[in-house]
């Protein structure tokens, strides 16, 4: 009986165990301002990896998005433009600021937010744009940055799934005003729970450090509204160990993705998202599109794959603008974003994480070919 091939699996070893033990024995588990020794070391190492001046560690990827929007000054009455084809945390962060999430449609080939669609939904209330590097595929940032710079709008990259992805020689998280990463347990690198905001802007970095620790500029001196978004020393220690492994883990993901593409040959009616020509994916998951299928046919294929011990998943079956909370409050309904809604009925994702073996790749491809036929 073949072992179940999970959609994602953390690569945890003796290095992480040793790092956690050292923190526990040190007696320093956290720091009131979120600036314990391991956190600060992790921040320096991550900033160096991304190629930015600052990295500010926080408690989750959602906290990273919320803190970044607060640092920009997003407030009630403002609008934040983003794709609907993403995890709900992207929109949630805007709503937590009192702002309105404004959804722009996606490009059907890349499945990423479309710059022309962004232009159509901008208004004089637009305070920020959040392009999402979905599935680890880098968004074509240049046209979005050009639009934003012309209007004085902040760009916050949602890189929660894209650690190590790049575009034109630049890491995602280094091109916008800020970049937001998640270290949730399924991500390309993990701290269990955790997040990071990257930036080259000194003022944003200062604001973010205050926001994560109750808005304090020094102990018991709040200068702005903040939260308890601190990262623990244990999480940072795990992150340091994971970051050292990340280049090797990314290489394995890319090898697996290339091997799966070759084995599948995009048989039948499957097509893979297209990254920009000068971009490199981090392959969080390997997402294909069942061209011409409806949701029922796609879901039936996914169910059959699971019955064959392949943990295929659908990200995201319900776009954010069609979720009850957002439909009730922001008024978009079915048909508002045709490319987003079409993709949500056709895409499904396969595992290519480092624990996936070459024979797993062959098995997945062979199983899919048989099921498609």
Question: How distant is the alpha carbon of residue 321 from its chain centre?
Answer: 18
Burial 156-165 (b: 16+ CB within 10 A, else e): bbbbbbbbbb
Residues annotated as part of the active site:
187
In the three-class reduction of DSSP (H, G, I as helix; E, B as strand; rest coil), residue 32 is classed as coil
Indicate the length of the chain as a whole number.
373
Q: Residues 37, 40, 46, CA angle at the centre, nearest 5°?
A: 140
Instruction: Give the separation between CA 369 and CA 373, rounded to whole angstroms.
Output: 6
Of 4, 3, 8, 2, which Cα lies nearest the Cα of 350? 8
Structure tokens at 266: 């995009």
Rounded to 5 degrees, φ, ψ at 33 are -100, 10
Question: Nearest to residue 254, comparing CAs of 110, 97, 137?
Answer: 137
């Amino acid at each position: 009986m073949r072992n179940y091939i999970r959609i994602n699996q953390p690569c945890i070893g003796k290095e992480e165990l040793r790092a956690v033990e050292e923190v526990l024995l040190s007696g320093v588990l956290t720091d009131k301002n979120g600036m314990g020794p391991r956190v600060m070391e992790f921040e320096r190492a991550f900033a160096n990896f991304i190629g930015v001046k600052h990295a500010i560690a926080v408690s989750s990827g959602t906290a990273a998005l919320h803190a970044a929007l607060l640092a920009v000054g997003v407030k009630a009455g403002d609008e934040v433009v983003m794709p609907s084809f993403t995890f709900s945390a992207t929109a949630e962060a805007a709503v937590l600021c009192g702002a309105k999430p404004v959804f722009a449609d996606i490009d059907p080939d890349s499945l990423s937010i479309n710059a022309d669609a962004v232009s159509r939904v901008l208004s004089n209330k637009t305070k920020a744009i959040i392009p999402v590097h979905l599935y680890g595929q880098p968004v074509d940032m240049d046209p979005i940055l050009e639009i934003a710079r012309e209007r004085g709008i902040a760009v916050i990259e949602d890189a929660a799934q894209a650690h190590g992805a790049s575009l034109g020689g630049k890491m995602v998280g280094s091109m916008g005003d800020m970049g937001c990463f998640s270290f949730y347990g399924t991500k390309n690198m993990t701290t269990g729970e955790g997040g990071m905001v990257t930036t080259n802007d000194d003022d944003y970095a200062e604001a973010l450090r205050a926001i994560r620790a109750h808005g304090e500029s020094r102990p018991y001196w709040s200068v702005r509204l903040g939260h308890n978004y601190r990262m623990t020393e244990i999480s940072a220690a795990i992150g340091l160990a994971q970051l050292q492994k990340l280049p090797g883990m990314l290489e394995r993901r890319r090898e697996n993705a290339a091997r799966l593409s070759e084995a599948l040959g995009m048989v039948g009616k499957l097509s893979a998202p297209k990254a920009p020509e000068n971009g490199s994916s981090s392959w969080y998951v390997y997402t294909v599109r069942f061209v011409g299928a409806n949701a029922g046919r796609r879901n039936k294929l996914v169910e059959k794959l699971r019955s064959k011990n392949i943990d295929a998943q659908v990200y995201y079956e319900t776009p954010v603008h069609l979720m009850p909370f957002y439909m009730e409050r922001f008024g978009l309904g079915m048909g508002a974003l045709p490319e987003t809604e079409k993709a949500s009925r056709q895409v499904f994702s396969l595992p290519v994480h480092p624990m996936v073996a070459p024979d797993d790749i062959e098995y997945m491809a062979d199983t899919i070919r048989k099921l498609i036929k």
